[in-house]
Amino acid sequence: MLIIESYSTAVIMCIVTMICWGSWANTMKMTSKSWVFQLYYWDYSIGVVVFSLLLAFTFGSRGAEGRSFVNDITQANSGNLGAALLAGVIFNLSNVLLVTVIEIAGMAIAFPIGVGLALVIGVISGYITNPVGNAFILFCGLASVIVAIVMDGVAYSKIPGDKKKSLVKGIAISIFTGIFMGFFYPILVSSISTNLATPETGKLTPYTAIVMFSLGLFFSSFIWDFYLMKKPVTSRIVSFSDYFKTGTVRDHLLGIGGGLVWCTGFSLMTLAGHQAGTAISYGLGQCATMIAAFWGVFIWKEFEAAPKSVNKFLLAMFLFYFSGLSLLILAKN
């Protein structure tokens, strides 16, 4: 299997993760107005599984080092397979909540608050389980991210009219999003062998862990997403028949594409974790908030109704996120 050998390569992969994770939700924004996010999410889930299997049977099954995907999954013990599966279930709950917030309040509030909080929780828990990097620099980076989250919340509170009414609901769901999203990654990492060239017996290679995670995500959609289909926070009640009746080919392709983009980022982050360390790789990946906020502010004009005074808070948000990103990179050196 392909193994990442250098820290610089791992950092580049995590930056690509950041771009993928900050951009995949654009595909949801691009679907038809009649295509509610609960239906979009089925295609997204399919895209995630498809990419994980393609990766496992290509890069995960070639090369002299490690174990091939088929050999690895057949020797793995049930505890590690279950941990990777559980990580997908937990993440999926957080991600369904994330797209709910995007529907309510937009990308520029969902990502900086929800994913920003997940970054803080994930880096702290990741550092506890795998203490790689300079702790002082790492936590200074986290402090910068926390300030950025506060700046984004203040900026959103300045939006007048109907949008302001969604502030409490959007932020409340974002907090739950961050809590669930912050704890899935250490669970996933616990199932992966620390030695990739000669993996431990019973443990998983990153490629197998990604597949099991993706299956956990897909099958738990029959719980989390199905619940929101019947008890929507926004939009109308929908059924499985609506998935086949109302969606266009373009809508389905956008959803699958969103899943492919997200899983590309997730896979690169997981593969980079061996070199960069859990805390740094996860922290860099979750700095996708800066990318998503850019899309929300400048492309989707989610702060268009806000007064001009809000610009200073948005500028501060971007500056503090950029500072946090820089410190997370430097933490390993």
Question: Confidence band (pLDDT; 50, 70, 90) for 288?
Answer: confident
- The C-alpha torsion from 123 through 282 and 211 to 68, rounded to 10°, is -110
Distance, in Å, from the CA atom of 105 to the CA atom of 34, rounded to the nearest integer, reads 18
Q: What string of H, E and C letters represents the secondary structure of 190-227?
A: HCECCCCCCCCCCCECHHHHHHHHHHHHHHHCCCHHHH
Distance, in Å, from the CA atom of 104 to the CA atom of 96, rounded to the nearest integer, reads 13
Length of the chain equals 333
Question: Confidence band (pLDDT; 50, 70, 90) for 164?
Answer: low
Q: Please say if the pLDDT value at position 14 is more than 80.
A: yes
The answer to whether the CB of 156 falls within 8 A of the CB of 95 is no
Residue 3 DSSP symbol:
-
Write down the mean pLDDT value for the chain: 90
The answer to whether the CB of 3 falls within 8 A of the CB of 12 is no
Mean pLDDT within 278-285: 80
Residue 200 DSSP symbol:
P
The residue type of 49 is: V
Q: Please say if the pLDDT value at position 157 is more than 80.
A: no
Q: Please say if the pLDDT value at position 163 is more than 60.
A: no
Mean pLDDT within 181-198: 92
Domain ranges of the chain: 7-330
Q: What percent of the chain has pLDDT over 70?
A: 98
Range from 110-114, 155-159, 268-272 that averages highest in pLDDT: 268-272
- Predicted confidence at residue 32, as pLDDT, reads 94
Residue 266 DSSP symbol:
H
Q: Please say if the pLDDT value at position 161 is more than 70.
A: no
The answer to pTM > 0.85 is yes
The residues with which 192 forms a beta bridge, in sequence order, are 204
- Predicted confidence at residue 166, as pLDDT, reads 65
- Predicted confidence at residue 247, as pLDDT, reads 92
